[in-house]
Structure 1
Amino acid sequence: MIPHIRKQPLPTGITFIVVLVATLHHSMTQEVAATTAVPQTSAAPATPASPGNPERGHYNVTNGNGTVCLMARMGLQLNVTFINTENKTVQELVNLHPNQTKPTGSCDKDTAILTLTEDKTNLIFSFSLNVTSKKYHLSSLALSAAWPDMAAPLNASGSGLDYLRGTLGRSYMCREEQNLMVDANFSLNTYQLQVQPFGLNSDQFGEAEECELDEDDMLIPIIVGAALSGLVLIVLMAYLIGRKRSHAGYQTI
């Protein structure tokens, strides 16, 4: 007599793993969203109202013969703290408007300067090049502003900085928002930034070197995908092993 073989339900352990995969997928999705969100840096007495992301501007500096020697594409947001006309300490986020901003500057063998002027605001970037290592960086940043609500003009600057590091002949790129701290009263938020202060061969950027924020943003989906693939593989292997053992338990009479 041939015994009646019943279909075996999924083992309890397999069911648990399936539920675990779904749970991990949900939690990892939330974690990715939380990780990619860029925290706002604030050291002021009150949280300022956000004006939204700034428009991306195109800024060039030319040397004496009219050749472009510095190129920058970026959205800029000033984060400043000052005393207003009511004698109160306030913090403001102010976007630069590319259509109202005039770029000027100069280029030398190992120094490049970009000055952006909008109404009563001046922002000065100074880049330095190490001719031995062929590496450049943003070494100083200065802001001067005389806005109507200020009790006195604001002058803030920082030297000895080490931001926007790149290689001679290549551009530095960072799509994510960056916060460049300058001093207690001023920091600069950059968006969709690409800059090359040295080694331009034409009016085109050299090969881009991406910032760590961009690399981390690309790495997270890869890690999550690999983890989910591993869990799916474990589920399939456990299910196949369980089925093999179930069939081995029956013998022909």
Structure 2
Amino acid sequence: MQAYMPSSNLSTDETVCSADIPTTTVVPTTTPVTPTTPVVPTNPERGNYSVVNSNGTTCLLARMGLQLNVTYFSKSQNKTIVKISNLDPKSTSFSGMCESTTATLLLTGNHTNLTFTFSLNSTTKIYQLSALNLSASWEDMAAPFIVSNSSLQYLQGTLGRSYMCSVEEVLPVVSTFTLNTFDLQVQPFGIHDNQFGPADVCRMQKDNMLVPIIVGASLAGLVLIVLVAYLIGRKRSHAGYQTI
């Protein structure tokens, strides 16, 4: 609309009301929250643990260093973080119980409860770590941390024998908790005279043992090839001198 028109044509200059100005809606961007990179401590100290059954005999033996890899919401940092914490055997108490086909080991210390459950297949005579439970109430946690998994198949050994792994093993339990073991030897069934039985060695340790054997065999083969080539060359050279 235009009043006081100097001619019959509308002016090209116009003023638009604010309601007619198109607006652009800015969609806010969201940044996914990712846990911070954890500080990795040194390898944990190895602890010695045992369980005695009702008749006073040892039914479970364990030697191992343990490291807890936990993802939780930090009160002080107001975000999700990953913390790797060593379980200190000096401040850890242990208990447990044994039955014919199940054995448990409970480790308690520093506001942390870690429970191992082993099960034995009475037909195959194979045992394994079938369940892990962790409950923790660390100072910086916004809420108690409680997780469990009862469908594991770790640390498999034969009845009457121990399971041994001198290298680090990483045992995922749930998405927010992984257990790292170091220099581990455990036997939950068939213990005699309070001693570990012969060891079933973990696959990673077997692989580590195979590497130097393979390298040594390769070097020995190379030396043999060089020696044979040298002897053949020397024999041909000697035969040539005899012909002349």
| TM class by smaller structure | 0.7 to 0.9
- Normalised to the residue count of structure 2, the TM-score between the two structures is 0.83
CA distance in 2, matches of 1:216, 1:107: 33
Which residue of 1 is the match for residue 213 of structure 2?
A: 222
Q: Is 1:125 aligned to residue 116 of structure 2?
A: yes
Which residue of 2 is the match for residue 234 of structure 1?
A: 225
Report the secondary structure of 1:250's partner residue: helix
Report which of the two structures shows the higher radius of gyration computed on alpha carbons: 2
Which residue of 2 is the match for residue 82 of structure 1?
A: 72
Superposition RMSD on alpha carbons, in Å? Answer: 1.4
In structure 2, do the counterparts of structure 1 residues 141 and 210 end up closer, same or farther at CA, with 3 Å as the change threshold?
Answer: same
1:155-234 paired onto structure 2 within 5 Å: 155-234=146-225
Letter in structure 2 aligned against 1:195: V
Letter in structure 2 aligned against 1:76: L
1:109-134 residue CA offsets vs partner (Å, 9 max, x unmatched) = 11101000012100000000111111
- More deviation, 184-193/58-67: 58-67
Identity %: 62
Letter in structure 2 aligned against 1:78: L
Q: Is 1:63 aligned to residue 42 of structure 2?
A: no
**Shift, 1:251, TM fit:** 5.0
1:69-128 residue CA offsets vs partner (Å, 9 max, x unmatched) = 111110000011111003211111100111100001111111101000012100000000
Which residue of 2 is the match for residue 137 of structure 1?
A: 128
In structure 2, do the counterparts of structure 1 residues 243 and 145 end up closer, same or farther at CA, with 3 Å as the change threshold?
Answer: same
CA distance in 2, matches of 1:58, 1:220: 30
**Shift, 1:248, TM fit:** 2.5
Letter in structure 2 aligned against 1:75: G
Which residue of 2 is the match for residue 41 of structure 1?
A: none
Letter in structure 2 aligned against 1:52: T
1:42-87 residue CA offsets vs partner (Å, 9 max, x unmatched) = xx73331121000000001111122211111100000111110032
Report the secondary structure of 2:150's partner residue: strand
Structure 1 residue runs of 4+, over 3 Å off?
250-253
1:15-26 paired onto structure 2 within 5 Å: none
Report the secondary structure of 1:224's partner residue: helix
Which residue of 2 is the match for residue 49 of structure 1?
A: 39
Report the secondary structure of 1:65's partner residue: coil
Which residue of 1 is the match for residue 11 of structure 2?
A: none
1:139-158 residue CA offsets vs partner (Å, 9 max, x unmatched) = 01111111011111111211
In structure 2, do the counterparts of structure 1 residues 165 and 247 end up closer, same or farther at CA, with 3 Å as the change threshold?
Answer: same
| C-alpha contact (below 8 Å) 2:35/2:79 kept by paired residues | no
Letter in structure 1 aligned against 2:199: A
**Shift, 1:252, TM fit:** 6.3
Q: Is 1:247 aligned to residue 238 of structure 2?
A: yes
Higher relative contact order (CA 8 A, sep 6+): 1
CA distance in 1, matches of 2:204, 2:188: 21
Letter in structure 2 aligned against 1:133: T
Report the secondary structure of 1:82's partner residue: strand
Which residue of 2 is the match for residue 73 of structure 1?
A: 63
CA distance in 2, matches of 1:148, 1:45: 18
CA distance in 2, matches of 1:209, 1:114: 20
